[in-house]
């Protein structure tokens, strides 16, 4: 399985007027614009996704929707509470392994530090690896059999700037 991990794009600042509820923070106009360029860069890499799993938080869902729209796979977008900022990565791995076992390519869209912790666990078996996943950054992991622990090989870790420059 190719497991892609994408951090949501630039969102409104936490705690500012209209953004008191973290789960309702939206992408900024700049975040939306950059995410569209990032999604086109992802498409230029020849990526494809059998499933897009996203946190239900607004900024992550908007990011996932931009990718799904760019790839024409809106029907493959599913929300899961296991990708929320306080979600349980063990339950996420169990959900993917049991419900989506036969899929070749899955995109996860969520938040930091949750995603870098998940990448670290899948690469090294614990959360000690210092992974930096910037807003709009994308990681590809190659996985033979998904388990919570060391099971993945790193294919790439791209910054949003690198993704935006791909044509």
Q: What is the pLDDT of residues 70-103, one digit of tens each?
A: 999 999 999 999 999 999 999 999 999 999 989 9
Tens digits of residue pLDDT in 122-139 = 999 999 999 999 999 999
DSSP 12: P
Tens digits of residue pLDDT in 29-72 = 999 999 999 999 999 999 999 999 999 999 999 999 999 999 99
Residue listed under structure tokens 């910054």? 159
Which residue intervals of the chain are DSSP H helices? Answer: 29-44, 58-71, 89-99, 114-124, 160-165
Q: Which H or E run includes 57?
A: none
The architecture in CATH of the region 2-165 reads: 3-Layer(aba) Sandwich (3.40)
Average pLDDT over residues 113-129: 96
Domain ranges of the chain: 2-165
pTM: 0.96
Q: Is the peptide bond before 113 cis (omega within 30 degrees of 0)?
A: yes
Nearest one of 124, 126, 127, 152 to 140, comparing CA atoms: 152
8 Å CB contact between 84 and 56: yes
The distance in angstroms from the start CA to the end CA of the chain is 25
Q: Which H or E run includes 105?
A: strand 105-110
Can you tell me the distance from the alpha carbon of 64 to that of 45, in angstroms, rounded to the nearest whole number? 17
Is the model's pLDDT at 16 over the cut of 80?
no
Strand, coil or helix: 126? coil
């Amino acid at each position: 399985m190719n497991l892609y991990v994408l951090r949501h794009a630039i969102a409104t600042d936490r705690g500012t007027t209209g953004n008191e509820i973290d789960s309702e923070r939206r992408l900024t106009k700049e975040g939306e614009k950059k995410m569209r360029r990032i999604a086109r860069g992802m498409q230029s890499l020849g990526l494809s996704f059998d499933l897009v799993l996203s946190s239900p938080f607004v900024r992550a869902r908007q990011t996932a929707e931009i990718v799904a729209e760019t790839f024409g796979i809106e029907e493959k977008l599913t929300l899961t509470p296991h990708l929320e900022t306080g979600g349980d990565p063990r339950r996420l791995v169990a959900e993917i392994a049991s419900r989506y076992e036969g899929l070749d390519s899955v995109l996860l869209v969520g938040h930091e530090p949750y995603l870098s912790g998940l990448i670290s666990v899948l690469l090294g078996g614990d959360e000690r690896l210092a992974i930096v996943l910037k807003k709009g950054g994308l990681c590809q992991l190659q996985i033979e059999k998904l388990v919570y622990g060391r099971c993945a090989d790193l294919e790439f870790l791209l910054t949003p700037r690198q993704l935006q420059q791909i044509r």
